[in-house]
Amino acid sequence: MAHVSLYRTYRPQRFEDVVGQSHVSRTLRNAIAEGTVAHAYLFTGPRGTGKTTTARILAKALNCEKGPTPDFDDTCANCRDIAEGRHPDVYELDAASRTGVDAIRDEIITKVSYAATRGGHKVYIIDEVHMLSTSAFNALLKTLEEPPSHVVFVLCTTHPHKVPETIHSRCQRFDFRRIGAEDIVERLQHIADAEGIAVAPGALTLIAKHAAGGMRDAISTLDQLSAFTGKSISLEDVEGLLGEVDSALLFAVADAVQRRDVGDCFRQVAGLAEAGVDITEFAKELTGHFRDLFVLAAAGDGSGIVDVPDEDMAKLSGQAEAFGRERLGRALDVLSSLSGEVRWAGDARLALEVALVRMARPEGELTLEALEERIAALEAAGPVAAPGPAATPGRSGAASAAKAASGSAVDPVAAAPGAAAAPPAAAAPAPPAPDDGVQTYTPPPRGAELDRAQLKRAWPAVVAEVKKRRNATAQLFSAAAVDVDGDTLVVEFPADQKVTKEIAEGAEVVQMLRQAVHHVLGVKPPVRYQLGRGSVKHEERPAGGAPAPRHHVADGADTHAETAEPDPVDILASEFGDVVVEHHEDV
């Protein structure tokens, strides 16, 4: 005798047996009890959520020998024949295989007016109704609008948007939801107990997650696993059959990204390749893992919204806290792009490696999100220091310790980038720190002359101060170099950033930059912009006189454009907000 699939054996037979669709069951029960059953229903929702099953239960309730009643006995001949698909008054049509107008005419239109043979109602269940042709829908339309009083239509579809609006308007629509993982696990456990199947902890949860809200798919997977394992299912069996990725591997990869350990990221991907893991499936699972991390970082409590075993929840919460919400949001943006790339990439492994490097180290990216992450890292990195010619990595900590031991004041820019520098106290000067090749930035007194070395060391803090005022404006200076020409701050943009330079020349942007410099360094210098990466050419000063006139922004109140080109603001207004750029002819 052929084996009967578990999903057929345990198909719900009564309204109370339908899992996860209480809103549909209760409405239909009330309609039957009050005698207000509609002549046509449209059941929509993902596959395996109970649409056709509920339609059969409705047919039972209408044709039970004790009915119509929502509490039918399910033991009479009519109920049993409907459950087994042989009742003469319940017609099930598969529109996917019979799409033409002839099927509708022969099966429905010519027979709909005949009285029911054994029950009180004739019920037409049309599955995958969206597959009907336009002519078939048109033929069905009039009958569906005014059927005989003893006829009920139930149209089922997974694609309601493909059903014509004229059909929609003649039906009561019920949307079947994806079934929650907890409800699926509970139902699977009931079936496993009834069938004598031993299931390891966590295995049913993994089956439920893979089913994506479809009860039929989950029960079919349990049936397949029981046949494969001999009714003793382990977590490894589920992972092997479904191609699921071990959660420990997901944690390991996420930990490497969090530590910004690019080498470990490459080693993890190499391990995946050696184990034969499907890269596309891994990318999908990794996206789900980072989604859970983001939910925990944003909501704090993942109860009911994060489906992971209890033993993984504490570890997941710790990892979410280590990442932080902003960084996890950017990681999800990268993974969203990856999910589309791995499908068509010639080398899926390379696409994954590139994505992991982008998530771990944003230095090579020019997106706003990556720049924000880099600036945040700079703000939290500690003292703003620039190594001298003989400096080596790892010596800045020793230099800071030496300064602390010598009684030097703590660098205010390092403590809080962009914070105002306090005037120096009128105390005896501290002894100089040993010359170890590392220079630590100390702000000059208010009103002091602008110093080239101090400016370059404090430039990240100046940009951070601009960001506090307007984030988009700070992005203008992300690739700029600075120098000093007399008492003038020189900002040099790369040669290919002419438009950026022109935007930065706006009076409002110049004033904002000068205020940021004053906030950090205590001086408010004039500003000059120029193009072309290279050494700044100093102006020749006449004997005893001021420098020769050049393209110059005087105190942020006026700007001069080198050429009379079209205004680029319209092009970049959407990116840089309300930055105002003014152009004047050269004097």
Task: Provide the percentage of residues in the chain whose pLDDT is more than 90.
Answer: 16
CB atoms under 10 Å from CB of 35, counted, come to 7
Cα 292 from Cα 281, distance rounded (Å):
17
From CA 261, how far away is CA 340, in angstroms rounded?
A: 25
Q: What is the reported pLDDT for 158?
A: 92
Amino acid at 442: T
- What is the structure's pLDDT at 524? 85
pLDDT digits (tens, 9 = 90+) for 129-159: 999 999 999 988 888 888 888 999 999 999 9
pLDDT at position 480 over 60: yes
Residue 370's pLDDT band (cuts 50, 70, 90): low
- Supply the pLDDT for residue 110: 85
**pLDDT tens-digit profile of 66-96?**
878 998 888 888 899 998 888 999 999 888 8
Report helix, strand or coil for 337: helix
User: Are the C-beta atoms of 334 and 261 separated by less than 8 Å?
Assistant: no
Q: What is the pLDDT of residue 557?
A: 40
Q: Which is more confidently placed, 353 or 444? A: 353
Q: State how far the Cα of 150 lies from the Cα of 112, in Å rounded to an integer.
A: 9
pLDDT of the residue at 373: 61
- Give the pTM: 0.54
Compute the mean pLDDT over every residue in the chain, rounded to the nearest whole number: 76
pLDDT of residue 397: 41
pLDDT band at 485 (very low <50, low <70, confident <90, very high): confident
Task: State the Cα–Cα distance between residues 38 and 170, nearest whole angstrom.
Answer: 10
Q: What is the pLDDT of residues 412-452, one digit of tens each?
A: 333 334 444 444 444 444 444 444 433 344 444 544 567 88
Q: What is the pLDDT of residue 27?
A: 93
For residue 319, give every residue at least 6 positions away whose Cβ sits within 8 Å of its Cβ, in sequence order, or none: 251, 254, 255, 258, 293
- Give the sign of the dihedral formed by CA 16, CA 17, CA 22, CA 24: negative
> Distance (Å, rounded) from C-alpha 505 to C-alpha 511?
10
Do residues 483 and 454 make contact, with C-beta atoms less than 8 angstroms apart? Answer: no
Does residue 383 register a pLDDT over 70?
no
Measured distance CA(176)–CA(72) in Å, rounded:
23
**For range 353-371, the mean pLDDT:** 72
Whether 546 shows a pLDDT value over 70: the answer reads no
| Chain segment 171-195, per-residue pLDDT in tens | 999 999 988 888 899 999 999 998 8
Here the tokens at position 293 are: 């991390």
Segment 255-260 mean pLDDT: 90
- pLDDT tens-digit map of 324-350: 888 888 888 888 888 778 777 778 888
Which domains does the chain carry? Answer: 6-175 (3.40.50.300), 181-242 (1.10.8.60), 247-360 (1.20.272.10), 380-387+413-419+442-536+549-587 (no CATH)
Radius of gyration of the chain, Cα coordinates, nearest whole angstrom: 36
Q: Which of 39-43, 219-223, 325-329, 541-545 has the lowest mean pLDDT?
A: 541-545
pLDDT digits (tens, 9 = 90+) for 263-316: 899 998 898 888 778 888 888 888 988 898 898 888 877 666 777 766 678 888
pLDDT of residue 171: 92
